[in-house]
């Protein structure tokens, strides 16, 4: 165990004064009430890497709920949320500092790939860290008075951070939780780390022999979302090259991550991650299992529509191109372009997508066109002219309508 590294200075420089004050209160209370508490997981990893800290996670050796009640009784914090079965607590300290407290726990996976069942709450820190995914996420920093700031490293995580290595803690890791395969991708892309050879081998084994359907798809979806939202081309290239896409029964397209990033940067879609994912995922069962929102799901149905109903050809007019893509989500148009490399979706994205008729039905009524059908036809005529560039401004539209009425 490497306990020589002390990060007290790093804590002071990288965390805000308010967070440090909250941690010091926790530390004093732990000392008085004889608890052992530690910063744990991502916060430790990111402190060592000098990265921005997203969440403050503290683990309590014992019962975090009881510990937080002591803090709350002393008016150090307010308890915001409690999860009773796991004994985890979200608490708010002065100046809105939020800390997530977890009780140390050991877990057992009753069925491969399913959520774990907690076997013991209040185990030792060492027992707790072995349920985790990678050595770089199994590090703790003591918040206890006798060794405040010491890094507790049972699994060689500090060395792995130095060597930019992603290493699972045991051979069964991916069987227990296949979403870790995507987590490896996320950390590899975000931190520019690499999986060690053994971890690669375990992943390969899982993807070739041990796949199964009844796994926690919501975890996999959440990790894919985090990974592809990074908009890092390498994540996508690795996703294909490492066969990770097989986890979601994807189809391997001939696309490079950089092509997707270039499109995404240019057209800023709402769902960046789904442009990446949509080029690979077509399997209906998985699409259902991901429980997408209505807007997310539309991207996949639009993509299928575009792929299966193409009536465009080299001579299609701007109007025909516009009509084909008009009602489709911009993400699906991008996916369609990436998969087919046709020029029409690019013409649409580049030139036509932004074109709108500015006059509306009421405007036309005021100008004397009263019949609903005629209004629709006139709006369509205006659109045709706008798409050819013969009409540009609202004043042009009005002029055109007046001419037609005459
Ligand atoms: N963890 C795990 N297996 C998972 C998910 C999480 O072992 N499938 C553990 C890791 O030790 C991780 C911790 O739970 O550090 C907290 O999880 P999470 O907040 O998802 O990850 P972070 O490491 O904080 O990563 P991020 O920076 O992306 O939030």
For residue 290, give the nearest of 235, 365, 219 by alpha carbon. 219
Contact (CB, 8 A) for 296 and 329: no
Map out the domains of the chain as residue ranges: 1-163, 295-352, 361-405
Tell me the pairing of strands 36-40 and 57-61: antiparallel
Ligand 1 atom 21, closest CA: 42
Q: Give, in words, the CATH class of 1-163.
A: alpha beta
113 lines ligand 1 (CB under 6 A): no
Print pLDDT tens along the chain (406 aa): 445 799 999 999 999 999 999 999 999 999 999 999 999 999 999 999 999 998 999 999 999 999 999 999 999 999 999 999 889 999 999 999 999 999 999 988 777 667 778 778 999 999 999 999 999 999 999 999 999 999 999 999 999 999 999 999 999 999 889 999 999 999 999 999 999 999 999 999 999 886 677 788 999 999 999 999 999 999 999 999 999 999 999 999 999 999 999 999 999 999 999 999 999 999 999 999 999 999 999 999 999 999 999 888 888 999 999 999 999 999 999 999 999 999 999 999 999 999 989 999 899 899 888 787 889 999 999 999 999 888 899 999 999 998 888 7
For residue 334, give the nearest of 275, 293, 289 by alpha carbon. 275
Ligand 1 atom 4, closest CA: 133
Question: How many secondary structure helices (H) and strands (E) does the chain include?
Answer: 21, 11
Ligand 1 atom 7, closest CA: 132
How far is the centre of ligand 1, averaged over its atoms, from the C-alpha of 42 (Å)?
A: 6
Contact (CB, 8 A) for 193 and 135: no
How far is the centre of ligand 1, averaged over its atoms, from the C-alpha of 254 (Å)?
A: 32
Taking the CA atoms of 36, 40, 43 and 49 in sequence, report the sign of the dihedral they define.
positive
Nearest ligand 1 atom to the CA of 190 is 28
Nearest ligand 1 atom to the CA of 45 is 23
How far is the centre of ligand 1, averaged over its atoms, from the C-alpha of 355 (Å)?
A: 45
For residue 275, give the nearest of 335, 364, 211, 188 by alpha carbon. 335
Pair of tokens at residue 263: 């499109």
Question: Candidates 41, 101, 138, 183: which one to mutate for ligand 1, based on the most atoms within 8 Å of Cβ?
Answer: 41
How far is the centre of ligand 1, averaged over its atoms, from the C-alpha of 218 (Å)?
A: 15
How far is the centre of ligand 1, averaged over its atoms, from the C-alpha of 183 (Å)?
A: 8
Ligand 1 atom 12, closest CA: 41
Nearest ligand 1 atom to the CA of 40 is 15
3-state secondary structure of 151: strand
36 lines ligand 1 (CB under 6 A): no
DSSP notation for 67-113 = HHHHHHHTTSEEEEEEETTTTEEEEEEGGGEEEEEEE-EEEE-SSTT
Ligand 1 atom 20, closest CA: 42
DSSP state of 52: P
54 lines ligand 1 (CB under 6 A): yes
Q: pTM of whole model > 0.75?
A: yes
Question: Candidates 38, 39, 42: which one to mutate for ligand 1, based on the most atoms within 8 Å of Cβ?
Answer: 42
φ, ψ at 130 (rounded to 5°):
-75, -10
Ligand 1 atom 8, closest CA: 180
Ligand 1 atom 13, closest CA: 41
Ligand 1 atom 19, closest CA: 42
Q: Which residues contact 206 (CB under 8 A, 6 or more apart)?
A: 174, 175, 178, 181
């Amino acid at each position: 165990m490497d306990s020589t590294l002390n990060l007290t200075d790093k804590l002071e420089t990288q965390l805000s004064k308010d967070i440090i004050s909250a941690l010091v209160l926790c530390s004093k209370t732990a000392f008085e009430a004889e608890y052992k508490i530690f910063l744990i997981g991502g916060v430790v990893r990111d402190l060592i890497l000098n990265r921005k800290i997203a969440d403050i996670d503290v683990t309590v050796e014992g019962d975090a709920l009881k510990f937080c009640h002591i803090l709350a009784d002393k008016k150090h914090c307010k308890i915001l949320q409690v999860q009773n079965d796991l004994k985890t607590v979200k608490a708010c300290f002065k100046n809105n500092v939020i800390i997530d407290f977890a009780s140390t726990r050991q877990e057992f996976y009753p069925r491969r790939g399913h959520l774990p069942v907690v076997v013991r709450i209040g185990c030792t820190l060492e027992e707790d860290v072995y349920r985790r995914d990678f050595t770089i996420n199994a590090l703790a920093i003591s918040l206890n008075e006798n060794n405040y700031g010491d890094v507790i490293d049972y699994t060689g995580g500090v060395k792995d951070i130095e060597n930019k290595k992603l290493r699972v803690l045991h051979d069964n890791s991916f069987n227990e939780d296949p979403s870790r395969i995507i987590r490896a991708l996320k950390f590899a892309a975000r931190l520019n780390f690499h999986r060690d050879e053994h971890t690669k081998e375990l992943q390969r084994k899982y993807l070739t022999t041990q796949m199964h359907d009844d796994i926690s798809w919501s975890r996999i979806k959440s990790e894919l979302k985090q990974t592809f939202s990074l908009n890092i081309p390498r994540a996508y290239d690795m996703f294909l090259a490492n066969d990770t896409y097989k986890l979601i029964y994807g189809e391997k397209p001939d696309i490079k991550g950089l092509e997707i990033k270039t499109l995404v940067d240019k057209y800023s879609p709402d769902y960046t991650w789904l442009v990446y994912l949509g080029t690979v995922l077509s399997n209906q069962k998985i699409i259902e299992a991901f429980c997408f929102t209505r807007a997310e799901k539309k991207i996949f149905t639009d993509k299928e529509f575009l792929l299966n109903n193409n009536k465009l050809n080299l001579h299609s007019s701007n109007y025909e191109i516009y009509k084909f893509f008009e009602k489709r989500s911009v993400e699906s148009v991008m996916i369609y372009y990436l998969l087919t490399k046709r020029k029409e979706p690019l013409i649409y994205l580049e030139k036509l997508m932004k074109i709108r008729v500015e006059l509306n039905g009421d405007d036309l009524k005021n100008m004397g066109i009263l019949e609903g059908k005629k209004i629709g036809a006139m709006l369509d005529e205006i659109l045709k002219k706008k798409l050819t560039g013969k009409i540009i401004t609202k004043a042009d539209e009005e002029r055109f309508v007046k001419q037609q009425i005459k």
